[in-house]
Structure 1
């Protein structure tokens, strides 16, 4: 009763710097809108970006509980967040081995490596959330950054250069340990600031050769093999906060777009800038989030899969509606034991606060969840060399996509793709043409059978027609007389 009287009688006030807060809010909105549109961000406000922890809401619910283990390191802890975990204790000794190997490869000394990392130690400390590094003084924190950075780069170099020293992982971590190192490197809570990696990378690979090493390693994750592509790793993200962010920007490739085909990404985004970002349907949750047909259902509607052959670009998904058929273009992707953890942590990165982004990975996963719902869908993706998986059975791929949750997507990108597919499927003559192709021209034998049946039908038609209306049976004399009447002899000259 006393509290109620107090609330009614006492004045309540909050001191807010209205002008500054309003300007900050407008800058935040512009930053997010530029990211969603695919434009260069304004960078006109301090986003307070940190190496975040996994948002708690992602860990709730049935899928969140099942996927909890995919956010925690299995064999190696990087950074301060999981340093005390007993599960990763064995890797601490192995880090010293990789430090020595990295020193020998770099042709330098431990003291020089230590001093170079110490130059950015204060900047690196600011990259973690408040209070997470208070148990470490500068020397201890610097040593942790040095050991973790050398461990990461030694592993990446072994994979990218096919160096058989990666077998040291088997010796110190075991064969299963090696299989889990890749996933641990790309966990959101297991990141170290990229400024540390950049310093060590420049020492080990001068003249920007370190970018080629990252290029090969990222392509190993994308395609299951080490490739040297023309696209540069730092082209789209020169100020990466950590390695996961850098790989995400390479995975989605900002130079291309996920949307309806026919036009380049730049022209599509230019058009987007002239149109409202949100339409009335975008505020309808059911319409906005509804999925489209799976791979086999799209095939029945005359929409066929096509592998993007330009490996110089990490194109996502494009749809082209042609005269009598549709074409869904997908870049080939490798799916392995580590893929689920990497996807989940890239999505978790996109869900973090103070992190303007365009939800490209979440959108890509939502599209794949729509396309892959049964074993035959995976089989079709395999047959077109779009999906390269090493999970054993196709059912495991279906299960993987089903267990990954993508709570938010880029509304514009997802709707553009979905609307293009739905418009194609609503066209009657295109679906009829698709049915004709699927039923009669899906294999050479069906085509031959159709031609033979058509020939037989045409022969029967001619036979029936001439039975009803036979050819005239006249003698040669009658024919000669008829010809004479038609062509009288010429007159005398």
Structure 2
């Protein structure tokens, strides 16, 4: 299959030629480009580039919208079971879940965080209100049409101000285990306060980042603000502050909301992919072996280094391979956060690289049983605070990933398959796994070899005639 961009046929002769071309042995997809809206052709070009895995098109500006969870994600059996992962448990952020009775307690707590943020910025509430009001028009445009009609500019601005101060104070204090955070448990309860981290990263629980940005600048200079965000994202990713080398969280264009910013931090975005391989949807969508199966084939899971620019890569060597993965922490709220990042990638007008969906799809392939989790733990790739390793297996089994970046997924799979195709490597791997997979196996193999060699020497000496 090939894709060709053409002009609309202007006469009957050109239409006849087009029909003859379609009857040839090559299938040609004609995409007309002389339409009134130039961006339509740009969208078609982007679709082709993503389909063939040749790159991430950035030929036109994406429309910034605060999307809701796509209904199709909720129709399947797993989607219905996971539906609660898209709903806030303690606090509503933005208009989509505002004024829900079950979340009323957090609204009172927001007034306290607003006062505390004023004290930290050494500004009055009026100053903070006017700062947000300067961007409230842009913020309102980010939401789905009709979702903010019930709020006047004053009411909407108050909502944005309270929600933003709540988010920023939590981001600043939580990773550092600040005393005020734990004293404030009394307003929401310990279990309620623990759920805030989860609620802040729900797709339908976001406010435009431009609101957070203007208030963050009042509190910190730009570099210090980025450091605060770095610490919080490190805390989410690894369970510890500053465990990994800092990343520049705002080195790309301004994110739409906090979830998008965390997603860009979670992954390492290459600027372009290149491939000369023909696209094959079915072949590239095929999964690969689990951790223990890969280990049996002499393919080892390794943790990426601080200097690595990719969160997933495969390296092939003489007699073995290395599957490199970035370390991640898993806690009771990881499932909800991952599901909402998947939902975000499934929405229109969002990044087309599907990096989170691809990562989770890879992990679903790797983690099939308890032994797989133990191997990831042993190599410091996975850190979890769940009740048991079986719960980690169950969590990944519950994920439903409708689409992935097939080029990225296929590159990993092809690297593994090419290594397995070299028979001598497979034989060496099986020999080492079967006979030297553990100290006892190795000792037994050496003893058996020694006995065999001794028997051979004794037999040879017995049969050899003496001079």
Q: How does the TM-score come out when normalised to structure 2? A: 0.88
Instruction: Indicate whether 1:330 and 2:335 are aligned.
Output: no
The one of 156, 164, 173 equivalent to 1:158 is 173
1:25 maps onto 2:40 in alignment: yes
Structure 2 match to 1:262: none
Corresponding residue number in structure 2 for 1:463: 458
Paired residue secondary structure (1:89): helix
Look up the match of 1:67.
82
- Tell me which residue corresponds to 1:397: 392
Shift of 1:321: 2.0
- Higher-Rg member (1/2): 1
Determine the structure 2 residue equivalent to 1:373.
368
In structure 2, distance between residues paired with 1:47 and 1:243: 17
Question: 1:176 aligned to 2:191?
Answer: yes
Relative to structure 2, which stretch is displaced further, 446-455 or 418-427? Answer: 446-455
**Preserved contact between residue 161 and residue 213 of structure 1 (Cα < 8 Å):** no
Residues matched between the structures, number: 434
Partner SS state of residue 204, structure 2: helix
Residues 192-207 of structure 1 correspond to what in structure 2 (within 5 A)? 192-207=207-222
**Cα 1:139/1:94, change in 2 over 3 Å:** same
Q: CA deviation at 1:471?
A: 4.2
Which shows bigger deviation, 192-201 or 292-301?
A: 292-301
Once residues 356 and 382 of structure 1 are traced to their aligned partners in structure 2, the CA distance between those partners, rounded to angstroms, is: 31
Are 2:413 and 1:418 aligned? yes
Which residue in 1 is equivalent to 2:353?
A: 358
Q: Relative to structure 2, which stretch is displaced further, 455-464 or 109-118? A: 455-464
CA distance in 1, matches of 2:222, 2:357: 35
1:96: which partner in 2?
Answer: 111
Question: What is the CA-CA distance between 1:116 and the residue it aligns to?
Answer: 0.8
Give the match for residue 422 of structure 2: 427
For residues 152 and 389 of structure 1, do their structure 2 counterparts lie closer, same or farther at Cα, with a shift above 3 Å needed? same
Quote how far apart the aligned CAs of 1:357 are.
1.8
Question: What SS does structure 1 have at the residue aligned with 2:301?
Answer: strand
Distance 1:78 1:148 in 2: 6
1:205-241: CA deviations, max 9, x gaps?
A: 1142110111111111111111162321112x33100
Question: Does the alignment pair 1:118 with 2:133?
Answer: yes
Aligned partner of 1:294 in structure 2 is 290
Task: Provide the secondary structure at the position in 2 that maps to 1:229.
Answer: coil
Corresponding position of 1:189: 204
TM-score (norm 1): 0.84
Q: Any gaps of 5 or more consecutive residues in structure 2?
A: 1-31
Instruction: Please name the residue that 1:253 is paired with.
Output: 268
Query: Tell me, which stretches of 5 or more residues in structure 1 are unaligned?
Result: 1-16, 256-265, 473-493
1:31–1:356 contact (8 Å) kept in structure 2 = no
Task: State the alpha-carbon separation in 2 of the partners of residues 333 and 182 from structure 1.
Answer: 16
Please give the alpha-carbon distance, in whole angstroms, between the structure 2 residues aligned to 1:300 and 1:177. 44
Report the CA distance between 1:451 and its aligned residue. 2.8
Shift of 1:23: 2.3
Deviations 1:46-65 (A, max 9, x none): 53220001111011011111
Q: Give the distance between the partners of 2:184 and 2:318, measured in 1 at CA.
A: 54
Distance 1:435 1:225, change over 3 A: same
Query: Residue 85 in 1 paired to residue 100 in 2?
Result: yes
Once structures 1 and 2 are overlaid, which stretch shifts more, 33-42 or 339-348?
33-42
State how far apart, in whole Å, the 1-side matches of 2:37 and 2:420 are: 46
Q: Which piece of structure 1 moves more, 441-450 or 318-327?
A: 441-450
Alpha-carbon distance between aligned partners in 2 of 1:307 and 1:88, rounded to the nearest angstrom: 40
Is the CA contact 2:129–2:158 (under 8 Å) kept in the aligned structure 1? yes
The separation in 2 between residues aligned to 1:121 and 1:399, in whole angstroms, is 43
Query: Over aligned residue pairs, what C-alpha RMSD do you find?
Result: 2.1
Partners of 1:325 and 1:433 within 8 A in 2 = no
Match of 2:380 among 379, 385, 388: 385
Tell me: CA distance 1:18–1:314, structure 2 relative to 1, closer, same or farther (3 Å): closer
